[in-house]
Amino acid sequence: LNAKNLCLDLILLNQEKTLMDIRMKNADELQALYEKRLNNGDANILEVNKIKMERMNVQTEVAQNSAAHRTALQSLLAMNGNMPLEFAETTYPSIQEINDYNVMRDEVMASDLDLQATAAVARAAEKQVSVDRQGWLPKLEVGFRRNTDDVASMNGFVVGGSLPLFQNRKKVKIAKAQAISAQLMQESAKEQVEASLMSLFNEMQQLKDALNAYDVPLMYRSLDLLKQALTEGQISLIEYFVETESIYKNLQAYMQIENQYQKVMANIYKNGL
């Protein structure tokens, strides 16, 4: 699960890097355009400086993204025995949506390793009760003995037995108590797993609803239209930056929500990794 989450984070960082490349490309093109306009007297130095500030901000974000990517990749490499590894994915693997909580709960709980472990402990404890109960059975003893108490010595077989009335009583009580404790632990583990699944299911639904509220293709088309409107003089540079900044923030928010959604799904199906 840790490796899966690192891969999901690397995908997010790669997506953000792609968005930063778009911002940098637009800033470069605008800087060239406005420097030309400045030379022709159609723009002022404040507009050119505004574009330069945008480039500086993007460069800072690129450096931060690169550092975070390097850290995450090093952690993934450590899990991979420091074997060479590259990770350039920008899309998440397809996952099946969860529409029925009860179906998901039954499927996950049946494969949950923690529940399987507690069930095994409970079965072992019940078995121990049966083993200790068998200690109440009479113990038979068979052997050969030479009797020299009488004047005439005699040889013969000896058959006897004993009834352990008190010997195993304490062991059985302890075994029963341990079996009850193991059963309670199993029930508690089931309740905890189910509560966790319900919480993850609710979080997953909220994240899915949030994702559906975003129209990603529309946002990318809007970026192109805003750039076109700026170059044609239909909007000012300030208007352009105000609008594009809002779109960039929405795109980053969408990427982060999608990352959270993927992590929740990975946590739900962690025992299948």
Angle at 253 between CA 248 and CA 254, to 5 degrees: 100
Asked if 180 contacts 122 with a C-beta cutoff of 8 angstroms, the reply is: no
Residue length of the chain:
273
Residue 26 and residue 51 in contact, taking contact as beta carbons nearer than 8 Å: no
Per-residue pLDDT of 238-267, as tens digits, reads 999 999 999 999 999 999 999 999 999 999
Q: What is the pLDDT of residues 173-200, one digit of tens each?
A: 776 776 677 676 767 767 787 888 889 9
Q: Write down the pLDDT at residue 56.
A: 95
User: In this structure, how many other beta carbons lie within 10 angstroms of the beta carbon of residue 202?
Assistant: 12
pLDDT in tens, 11-41: 999 999 999 999 999 999 999 999 999 999 8
Residue 49 main-chain phi, psi, to 5 deg: -65, -35
Residue 13 near residue 67, CB atoms below 8 Å: no
Residue 26: predicted pLDDT: 92
pLDDT (mean) for 129-141: 58
E strand residue ranges, the chain: 139-147, 154-162
3-state secondary structure 21-34: HHHHHHHHHHHHHH
pLDDT (tens digit per residue) in 77-93: 999 888 888 899 999 99
Residue 112 CB neighbour total at 10 angstroms: 20
- DSSP-assigned letter for residue 160: E
> Tokens 């996950």, residue?
108
Longest dimension (CA), the chain: 141
The answer to whether residue 213 scores a pLDDT higher than 70 is: yes
- The more confident residue out of 171 and 47 is 47
Judge if pTM exceeds 0.85.
no
Separation CA 201–CA 226 (nearest Å): 39
pLDDT at residue number 86:
86
